[in-house]
Chains A and B, each alone.
Chain A
Amino acid sequence: MTFSALNYFLFLPLVFLAHHFSPAGFRWVVLLVASFLFYAALKVPHLLVVLLAVSAISYGFGLWLGNCKDEKGRLRILWGGIGSNLLILVLLKYLPFLSRVLNQLFTVVSPGASIPSAKVIVSIGVSYYVFQAISYLVDIYLETAEPERHYGYFILYLGFFPKLLQGPIERATDLLPQLHRHYSFSYENVRSGLLIFTWGLFKKVVIADRLAPLVNLAYDNVHAYSGGAFLLATYLFALQIYFDFSGYTDMALGSARLFNINLTENFNSPYFARSTAEFWRRWHISFSRWILDYIFKPLQISLRNWREYGMAVALLLTFLISGLWHGANWQFVVWGGLHGLYLSASVFYKPWQKKIHSALNLKKNPILGYWQMFVTFHLVCFAWIFFRASSIADAAYVVKSIFSGTGFIRSLQAYLDALLADRLEIYLLVFALIMVGIRHASAQVFAARLESLPFWIRWPAYYSLAMMVIVLGVYGSKSKFIYFNF
């Protein structure tokens, strides 16, 4: 069951009604059962076992940490908890990759030797709640959070269905108090929740899913196109992944709000960022904060004696890990590495950049802002090439094609002809909607603006949104969320 499937549109109101009409002390049970049903609907039984295992381990280690007063003992417990969670994640997600890498190493170091290849195991959602579990344990260790004593609420914290499959990655201090809080019906929350959900659905099924075949056209047949086509396809992919993931997040936020729960906003117009550091403050915010707090900061502290070199190494390592989190293959490692390089480099050029801007008196010039947005967007797009390509070889081919310039216009023309050959009207409409979407991309902002309008504008707007979602949306097997894979 995904957020854009008809069965979810039936499931959500049923859960809402069951939750609303349940006795106060029983509401968490409704949400927990709903979350189990939601996860079970993926028809991958081992995932429920994994959720139970991760929650049991983290719950146990959390209580143990909370009760232990000895500092060395606490550290051992913390590493025990983190290690157990990471072991589950590695076993599920990284074993095939590791076995492949080891076998490749063997072919060089010791020809003839090999280890059995591990099978790919479905791990939808696991990396999200494992990260939540780790942050929970670290927060208890740092005494910024209290251990949760109620196992039911703890599973719900990890497995609450709106954020189970693709986040946001919630902190215990943010979500657990909301789960415990007394529920009372809120007209405003239901109204804005539904609106945010529909806006997210629109972003996903109308924009992202309509862009997907256009991107696939070039990226799934890399040798059929060259420079110009890849440049445009990469821009389109940048939009596709943004609308896909932010659409999902909006649907998660909207669903949760029906139960008076506010999840973390994951996006804040990321393509308007003026540096890659700012981009990461606006893109997949809950994840960025997580890697900043739980990977970068400890690394930075341990490398502090190397001063700015330590900072650069910490950034590089953090983003390599971030790449690996996205998927067990080299394209994601390179993607993460590129972002790490951008940020590491900025450690050294930032002071010079400031001096140059001051010397040229550019600080207050609005053109500087646009130029920085342009450069940042293109750096991000360059990294997206590795993220989207099916292999490193394909990515290298795309990069080479874009920069070689040969047949650039001809290729662009061929790609445009293929794009516009069918259903031109829809593409023009989608283009117009992207423009609107970017401007009002934040679901909260969109909902707030719409709600402030008079009735005679608001209702036609609601109606148009709903009709566009139905008529222009892409449904069925073609509508898959990109971040499901992570």
Chain B
Amino acid sequence: MIKITAKIIVMTILVVASCAFILKMPVRYSHDLSQIMLKREILAGTSSPKIVFVGGSNLLTGLDSTLIKERLHYNVVNLGLYQGFGISFLLEQAKPYINSGDIVVIVPEYTLLLIDGNFWPFDEHAIKWSLALSPASALEQIYFKRGKMDLLLKSVSELSRDKLLALTRCIASRKLTDLYGQGYLYGYLHIDQNGDARHYSEKKVPLEKMEWYGYKYKKTITDGSKIKDMNEFNSFALSRNARVYFLYSVYPQALFDENREAFFNSYTQLKEQLQFTVLGKPDDFAYPIEYFSDTPNHLTQLGKRVRTHKIIELLGTEIRAASGHP
């Protein structure tokens, strides 16, 4: 019994150590969502005062951070990547890098406000990349506390495979410099120094074939933890002398009209319950279908430009007001 137990323990240690070694290898992952790690690096390396945008892929594909930087004279970091990460998780990731004078703009997709469940901490992809991003905190907060242990093996397996594939491809293509370089090796998305997508497919999807077509959102925000988490983050930001704003995400006008009541109910609710400012109104970001590419959250270049100008207008007014120059 002792002999076999010792052997099993030795083998387990070997295997666990090997997995840890693979996950810690200084090779970049190749999956698109792994860019969350690069985004955190960008956030860590950007000096204050800065504007940090927190949200899903509506920001990744629909924000011109360079333009905002030019017009508002703030450094800009776009943390938007994938709505599966949810807002609370991204706000937690941003916390260590929020300093005096910073502005955090929260831009959740409507799905994150008006649907319960489905997203963080239920999305398997997001959980997996949270493990890559912050192993200790993910293990404690997600896998143990939220009972997601059944996903741990799947996450470790997929992360290890992704890393080994990236390594294999680097070796095969003799581009060993890619191993440690900036940017992602084979991800379909590439992001710039601010975190905006450099190239995003403008493939048009007809309205009736878009995700969430005909979907009826909940009439109000029923999950109180969403507002609570944002208010808690605001308290934290205030303690660091930073400011927080809420901004509505984009949506195609035709789909917006189907859910107008729900969207405006959420607006009333947020105005009442959030302890920080809601910039603009939901219909400020309801655009013609021509501004959208493949989903109701992804804008074309034209849509991106229009939206960025609106954000500059709204945010600029606030910044000027805060600095005493209306």
Contact = CB atoms under 8 A, between A and B. Distances in A.
A355 B154 CA distance: 57
A62 interface: no
Given A6-B150, A20-B1, A471-B22, A466 B157 contact: no
A190 B153 CA distance: 23
Contact of B1 (A5, A185, A462): A185
Nearest to B168: A425
B15 A463 contact: yes
A7 B11 contact: no
B152 A6 contact: yes
B160 A471 contact: yes
B319 interface: no
Which one of B152, B153, B160 has the greatest number of beta carbons of chain A within 10 Å?
A: B153
Interface string A175-208: 0000000000101001100100000000000000
Nearest to B12: A466
A185 B3 CA distance: 12
Contacts of A6: 149-150, 152-153
Interface in A401-459: 423, 425-426
B18 A475 contact: no
A472 interface: yes
B4 A463 contact: no
Contacts of B153: 5-6, 9, 470, 475
B151 interface: yes
Interface in A3-58: 5-7, 9, 20
B46 to A, nearest CB: 34
Contacts of A194: 8
Contact of A475 (B4, B22, B157, B164): B157
A120 interface: no
Interface in B142-187: 149-154, 156-157, 160-161, 164-165, 168-169
Nearest to A190: B4
Contacts of A118: none
A425 to B, nearest CB: 6
Nearest to A189: B4
A147 interface: no
B64 to A, nearest CB: 31
Given A6-B150, A7-B150, A475-B157, A466 B165 contact: no
A462 B149 contact: no
B161 A471 contact: yes
Contacts of A111: none
A467 interface: yes
A116 interface: no
A81 interface: no
Given A187-B3, A471-B160, A476 B165 contact: no
A473 interface: yes
B32 interface: no
B42 interface: no
Given A6-B152, A6-B153, A476 B11 contact: no
A170 to B, nearest CB: 26
B150 A471 contact: no
Contacts of A9: 153
Contacts of A425: 165, 168-169
Contacts of A473: 157
B124 interface: yes
Contacts of B4: 187, 190-191
Contact of B15 (A5, A190, A466, A474): A466
Contact of A463 (B14, B22, B168): B14
B18 A467 contact: yes
Interface in A117-132: none
Interface in A63-115: none
A191 B18 CA distance: 22
B160 to A, nearest CB: 5
A473 B22 CA distance: 16
Contacts of A470: 15, 19, 153, 156-157, 160
Given A20-B1, A191-B4, A425-B165, 4 more contacts: A426-B161, A463-B18, A470-B15, A471-B22
Interface of A: 5-7, 9, 20, 185, 187, 190-191, 194, 423, 425-426, 462-463, 466-467, 470-476
Interface of B: 1, 3-4, 8, 11, 14-15, 18-19, 22, 124, 149-154, 156-157, 160-161, 164-165, 168-169
18 contacts: A6-B152, A187-B4, A423-B165, A463-B14, A463-B18, A466-B11, A467-B15, A470-B15, A471-B19, A471-B160, A471-B161, A471-B164, A472-B157, A472-B161, A475-B153, A475-B157, A476-B124, A476-B150
- The 6 A-B residue pairs with the shortest CB-CB distance, nearest first, are A475-B154, A476-B154, A6-B153, A471-B160, A466-B15, A190-B4
